[in-house]
Homo-oligomer: A and B are copies of this chain.
């Protein structure tokens, strides 16, 4: 059935039922909820900790193309990019509002699949979907707002402006996989099935580092960002906010083995500039990093250090200390192409 046949109210009713079916009363978000979908606003009992809010969207033909993604992955990723922002503050996500725009000719089943993807990820992190908005539009747009709080054990934040000269620069997990996945999907590159699965998942189902963000706060890390634009671009954001420089060594980058194996010399480029890995990039003193490494369930790799050098400049060097020039430094929305 098409969305235009079901109608707006029918669609909202269907989605509201689906969301209510995913209610999890063991989670604080649902326990505190007074009104979810269906009134003028959502309402919940506030608490006096620090509150967080972020909004980010996936737009057809800007961020994705329908021929290389499943509807369910689309929903997952639209929520994941927002949860990643909460993770990068050391916060816990609590509530999500989903603003959905689509053509009337969209199959209702496709919309339900988007919501299945959103709900699947929301359940993993105890997030309650509490409202939203549906509109007709020529292209699909999923804009999600996520509201969260600081964690229960430490009421501090990971901010961009807290990096200090002498800090080590480190990342969680592996780099380059999402960009490699996008290239594989758009260029129909043929790899072995394991590589295909890993790269596909990296691009379409990134796992927000919520637990790792909490862990960083608990061990005293103060500066962090999530890697969405690209390693170098996002490190620049930290440098600008903190009024420092940074130096990273290409040879230390934790490039995903499947990327190294299949993209050869271009692997480091994907890791430096590809973006969308949604790993956490953070800075802290060497002792704090050692503690983090010991506590982390995922790889944590030191890739360079914060310098007092030229403001906001990120220098990339190879194993011999030779300057590496960068072909591209991340995502720029309004660039004429």
A contact residues, range: 35 or more
Q: Which residues of B contact A147 (CB under 8 A)?
A: 53, 147
Contact string against B for A residues 83-102, beta-carbon threshold 8 Å, 1 for contact and 0 otherwise = 00110110100010101010
How far, in whole Å, are A293 and B194 apart by their CA atoms in the complex? 70
Is A132 engaged at the interface, CB distance under 8 Å to the other chain? Answer: yes
Known contacts A7-B334, A34-B157, A99-B57; A50 and B41 CB within 8 A of each other? no
Known contacts A11-B334, A48-B46, A159-B39; A55 and B139 CB within 8 A of each other? no
Contact at A97–B145, with CB atoms within 8 Å? Answer: yes
Give the copy number. 2
Contact at B50–A49, with CB atoms within 8 Å? Answer: no
- Distance (Å) between the CB of A132 and the closest chain B CB? 6
Interfacial residues, chain A to chain B (CB-CB below 8 A): 3-4, 6-9, 11, 34-35, 38-57, 59, 61-63, 85-86, 88-89, 91, 95, 97, 99, 101, 104, 130-139, 141, 143, 145-150, 157-161, 224-226, 241, 332-336
Beyond contacts A43-B52, A55-B131: 19 other A-B pairs, Cβ-Cβ < 8 A, are A4-B334, A8-B334, A9-B332, A40-B54, A42-B53, A43-B51, A44-B51, A45-B51, A47-B48, A53-B147, A55-B133, A55-B145, A57-B101, A59-B101, A61-B138, A62-B136, A104-B336, A136-B334, A137-B139
